[in-house]
Structure 1
Amino acid sequence: MKCPFCGHLETQVVETRISEDADFIRRRRQCGHCEKRFTTYERPEVSFPAVVKKDGRRVDYVPAKLRASFALALRKRPVSTEQVDTAIERIEEKLLNLGVREVPATRLGEMVMRELKKLDKVAYIRFASVYRSFDDVNEFMDAVRETSRGGG
């Protein structure tokens, strides 16, 4: 590891700690030349599939966009942050387990709807009404009836 202070290539790890949630490792290092200390963080690198939009464009998966979709659908609804985090983790785990380099945006949208349906029926209807682009009130009512029956 190159020293950020003097650029020397030889540094020594003097302390290693695992974070409380075990998501990363914190290492204290000391430069063999200038003897200054600095901290590095080691995290696993995961590669989510690219998202293929309806028009054929390919975009990177952006976790913040997924979280924003949940936040918008769940606005003023009685769902905890922990529940949202768990739902997002389930979606991301599914994306990684697909083992593909690309995933259609429609498939991602279906995953979101499934999770929202488990969390809050009103949020599910909010998301579905935008996502499915209902053409008339009958399609909207069909979605409400489907939700009240527990189908889907």
Structure 2
Amino acid sequence: MNDVLASSNASHSGLTDAIVATSQCRRSGLDRIVDITAGRRDQLAAARALAVDALPDGAALRKSLVAALDASFDADAAFLSWARRHLAGDCSGPVAEDRDYRRGLARSEDARKAKARFADAWRTVAKRYDLPAWRPDQI
């Protein structure tokens, strides 16, 4: 589970910069969003497949992590749809009014809440097994 969290942290860190770059009509932003979305999809699949029998409340912990990563993946996928359309349309039109961009923001908020719930539950496990106590903004 900790490996999935570390991978999630690495993916999460570049999304804001990628969105800014895309909104400035830079292809590099789209490329980064593609990579982030693919990574998040892989993390979600890995989280769903985690064997958690040895952890106290492992099934509930996995379910919480999957919910957080699912919302994050949905947000990333929405931002990816926006980014592709934005660049294909010569970067015209207000970004904040785009339906996929707004959906990305909404699902990001859902993800933030789910990550906070997971991080609270994870803290106990992390302390018990001497693992990093990931903060919600690191997932």
Q: Which has the larger radius of gyration?
A: 1
Q: Which has the higher contact order (CA 8 A, sep 6+)?
A: 2
Tell me whether the two structures share a fold, i.e. TM-score over 0.5. Answer: no
Give TM class, smaller chain. Answer: under 0.3
From the two aligned structures, give the one with the greater strand fraction.
1
Alignment TM-score, normalising by the size of structure 2: 0.28
Structure with a larger share of its residues in helix: 2
